[in-house]
Chain A
Amino acid sequence: MAVAGKRIVFFTTLVLLWQGIVLLGIWPESMIPSPLSVANEIYAGFKDMTLIWDIVASFRHLLIGFAFSLIIGTLLGVMLAKVKALDETLGSMILALQSVPSIVWVPLAIIWFGFGEASIIFVVIIGGTFVMTMNMRIGIKNVPPLYLNAARTMGSKGLDLFLKVVVPAAIPHAVTGVKLSWAFSWRALMAAELLSSGPGLGYTLAYASDFNNMSLVIGIIIIIGTIGAIVDQVIFQRIENNVLKRWGLDERNP
């Protein structure tokens, strides 16, 4: 647990440094609020449930959008891997779409779906789908030929070969796809919520900014970062590590 210790020391120092800067009094509280007022703001938000509802709303958007991303991404990825003509055409387009930042889709979503939840979910889906697609595609295309040959000599072919060998062999790439898709969805979610009519963490962030509530702005940024990091490290990193180990792809233990 040496790592945990180092982190505690690091973050404590960071907060102390922050408090020190506030005490110097160079900038007004409305630009750099003190750690205590940020903590108070977060506490108040949790106490009157507003932040809780924001988090619940954000997660609702995220989970719906993320689920669609995974389903659409998986299907598209399999199709690209299996149909060469599609890969050469649609594949190149998806590659281009993948490099478009999610926030670019927000104005378009607002015109199509208004300021409500549909817009947010749309942007989240766009944000998470393509990276899942590309990882699924690679996973299916890069199944080691040795597995395929071994399975064929054991009488497996067609759909059985696909479901029992190709799909499981593609799982390490798929898991990486899910992890990245989560990260992209989370970022897209915030971009979309900033311009929405709430509720949601992004909406409240924009709202707090409009009312010059700097403590709440920083509080929400901290919440967003913390949730993102926890889900990424605790859930997805762990799943990915377990899968890589089982599949014999763990670099620390080859």
Chain B
Amino acid sequence: MYLKINNVSKTFHNEKDQALTVFQDIDLDINEGEFVSLLGPSGCGKSTLLSIIAGLAQPSSGSIFLENAEVKGPGPDKSMVFQEAALFPWLTVSENIRFPLRKSLNKKDQQDVAADYLQMVHLSNFANHYPHELSGGMQQRVSIARALAMDAKLLLMDEPFGALDEQTRTVLQDELEKIWLSAKKTIIFVTHSIRESIKLADRIIIMGARPGTIISDIKVDLPRPRLQKDMADLEEELLTILKGEIQKVMKEELRYGGSR
């Protein structure tokens, strides 16, 4: 097994020492080269799970194995696109993309790789701009370019296209699909969009909330590139599952609100 998520739970404690269990007993095996998308209502712990896989946070119990080695910390073998752009404001766009390449490539190659990926996200003209001169969506594209430029085998993406307009999103979805098809990466892709997950993923994991667990694990067997008409049935099915979950969360939030 390439990536093995073994009975992972995560509990946060606040200042008053109240425990909040975000998710429990997450068990997941992911094959090498699989494109997995993670769907679930807001607050069910998708970002938390992703940062545990990245090695940025420790699970409260359970363990994660990547290629048979336990994940103990972050590293360049697992690249991550964060929900926010996470660019360094003191570096130019191009320098930001070159940041993870400093150790492994010489100057010339760094420049070339950065230029390639900037072109991919249609920001070649902004190479020497600073992040504060870019819009939020443009910044997010730079951070996607940065993560892809690292060329890690495992790519963790937390709602990478969430801040983008429909057209840019479609272009980048296609680019990501192309990269995945040619470079044989394993991708875990968090999204709120059912359609996006069906368009891209081999496998869709749906998480429920409070405490989060995996409630469905669905294989997508549609030929690529995927067409709208083939996707409709599955979309309907996922929508039904998610609606129930979201209602559950909202009811619970109302109850919390009422008891205060």
Contacts and interface: CB of A to CB of B under 8 A. Distances in A.
B45 interface: no
Interface string A147-169: 10111111110000000110011
Contact of B84 (A146, A152, A156, A164): A146
Contacts of B86: 146-147, 149-150
Interface string B172-195: 000000000000000000000000
A252 interface: no
A146 B90 contact: no
A7 interface: no
Interface secondary structure of B, over-half rule: loop
Given A246-B90, A247-B89, A248-B89, A152 B74 contact: yes
B131 interface: yes
B74 A246 contact: no
Contacts of B90: 168-169, 171, 246-247
A245 interface: yes
Max chain B Cβ within 10 angstroms of own Cβ: one of A154, A155, A171, A250: A154
B132 A153 contact: no
- Interface size class, chain B: 20 to 34
Contacts of A245: 132
Nearest to B103: A155
Q: Which of A149, A165, A245, A250 has the most CB of B within 10 A?
A: A149
B132 A248 contact: yes
B3 interface: no
Interface string A163-197: 01100110100000000000000000000000000
Interface residues of A, number: 20
B75 interface: yes
Contacts of B99: 151, 154, 156, 164
Instruction: Give the most central of A155, A165, A248, A250: most B CB within 10 Å.
Output: A155
A247 to B, nearest CB: 5
Contact of A155 (B76, B84, B146): B76
Contacts of B100: 154-156
A166 to B, nearest CB: 11
B88 A246 contact: no
25 contacts: A146-B84, A147-B88, A149-B56, A149-B74, A149-B82, A149-B86, A151-B99, A152-B74, A153-B55, A153-B74, A153-B76, A153-B79, A154-B76, A154-B100, A154-B146, A154-B150, A155-B103, A165-B88, A168-B88, A169-B90, A246-B89, A247-B89, A247-B132, A248-B89, A248-B132
Interface of A: 146-147, 149-156, 164-165, 168-169, 171, 245-248, 250
